[in-house]
Amino acid sequence: MFRRHFAALACALLLSVSAAAETVSPVRLVSGNDYQPFADASLPSGGLIGAIVVAAFAAADVAIDPVQFEPWKRGYADMLAGDFDATFPYIHSPERDTEVLFSDPVYDIVSVALFRAGDDHDYDGPDSLKGLILCLPIGYAASPPIDALIKGSLVRLEQPATPDLCLKQLAAGHVDVYVNAIDLVDLRTKALFGTAAPFLRAKQPVYRQSLHLIVARENPGGAALIQRFNEGLARIHANGSFDAIVKRQLGAS
């Protein structure tokens, strides 16, 4: 009797250990601040993209830890180092493509050029910005047309810490042009200056691009994680959850 009981107990312990070994740890996510309405710890769900990312992982039955927020450059570096499994939201760039894998587009954005009213500047293509002082926050990737101007030294570059500082520098006349997503530009302009914002927004978009979740190429499970996320993202598009999140989050912002 004792031997049978001991054998049963040993078997149960082995099964318990085996099950524990197969348990998958929750996904560790990091994002950054001052990218409203897309990402900021002060916003509901950490911003629009955070809400979409959490919903997509839930739809794919993937457990995640609460999203952490760090300065953009630190969060990106910590993700590459393996301290986090993924980060968001990021646009595609050739430099990043060598280091990370990109998810399917999480949200499409339209970049616009903002000038100070009365400065007689407008945007009708990259050449129209030549010789101007461009503001680009630290840690932000420039869209391809703007990146070409920067690399060709065809614009002077100022890089403060946040988009809000770019808007303040533009209003003060320290820079000539600021380019960013229309959602962010409109939201922060209204928050900082109200209806009397001293800016002129170009009617022609600078670029259309997408925001993504990214994982390090050296992450052994990175490709599988991207695949699961993409599956969840497709599901929330199909069931209407995506549109509901966008409506709720932009309304909240």
pLDDT value, residue 112: 95
Question: Tokens 């499994």 label which residue?
Answer: 85
Domain membership of residue 72 (yes or no) is yes
Q: Which residues pair with 158 in a beta bridge?
A: 135
CB 175 within 8 Å of CB 135 = yes
Residue 127 is classified by DSSP as: G
Same domain, 239 and 123: no
Q: What is the pLDDT of residue 184?
A: 83
How high is the pLDDT of residue 13?
41
How many structural domains is the chain composed of? 2
- Write down the pLDDT at residue 158: 97
Rounded to whole angstroms, the Cα distance separating 174 from 170 reads 6
pLDDT at 34: 87
149 in the same domain as 193: yes
Residue type at position 248: R
Do residue 114 and residue 195 come from a single domain?
Answer: yes
Cβ atoms of 135 and 171 closer than 8 Å: no
**pTM higher than 0.75, yes or no?**
no
Q: Indicate which CATH number applies to the domain containing 41.
A: 3.40.190.10
Q: Are residues 116 and 136 in the same domain?
A: yes
Q: Is residue 161 assigned to a domain?
A: yes
Three-class DSSP category at 150: helix
- For residue 140, the model assigns a pLDDT of 84
CB-CB neighbours of 45 under 10 Å: 17
**Is the predicted pLDDT of residue 11 greater than 80, yes or no?**
no
Nearest CA-CA partner of 179 in 151, 153, 207, 139: 207
Domain that holds residue 73: 28-105+211-252
Q: Angle at which helices 182-193 and 163-172 pack, to 10 degrees?
A: 60
Convert the pLDDT of each residue in 30-76 to its tens digit: 999 988 889 999 999 999 999 999 999 999 999 999 999 999 999 99
- Shared domain for 177 and 138, answered yes or no, is yes
pLDDT digits (tens, 9 = 90+) for 204-217: 999 998 999 999 99
Judgement on whether residues 41 and 163 belong to the same structural domain of the protein: no
User: Residue 134: which H helix or E strand, with range?
Assistant: strand 133-135
Given a cut of 90, is residue 186 above it in pLDDT? no
Q: Does one domain contain both 152 and 204? A: yes
Beta bridge partners of 157: 134
* 133 inside domain: yes
Cβ–Cβ < 8 Å for 29, 90: no
Assess whether pLDDT exceeds 50 at residue 12.
no
CA-closest candidate to residue 106, choices 252, 253, 249, 251: 249
Domain boundary among 189, 208, 227: 208
| 219 in the same domain as 203 | no
> Do residue 188 and residue 235 come from a single domain?
no
- Residue 119 lies inside a defined structural domain of this protein: yes
Residue 213 near residue 30, CB atoms below 8 Å: no
Minimum mean pLDDT range among 10-14, 113-117, 219-223: 10-14
**Angle at 17 (CA atoms; ends 12, 18), nearest 5 degrees:** 95
* Long-range pairs for 36-43: beta carbons < 8 A, 24 or more residues apart: 36/184, 36/187, 36/188, 36/253, 37/183, 37/184, 37/187, 37/249, 37/250, 37/253, 38/89, 38/107, 38/181, 38/183, 38/184, 38/211, 39/88, 39/89, 40/69, 41/69, 43/249, 43/252, 43/253
194 pLDDT exceeds 60?
yes
Query: Are 177 and 121 in a shared domain?
Result: yes
Q: Check whether residue 121 and residue 188 sit in a common domain.
A: yes
Among 81, 69, 74, 67, residue whose Cα is nearest residue 27 = 67
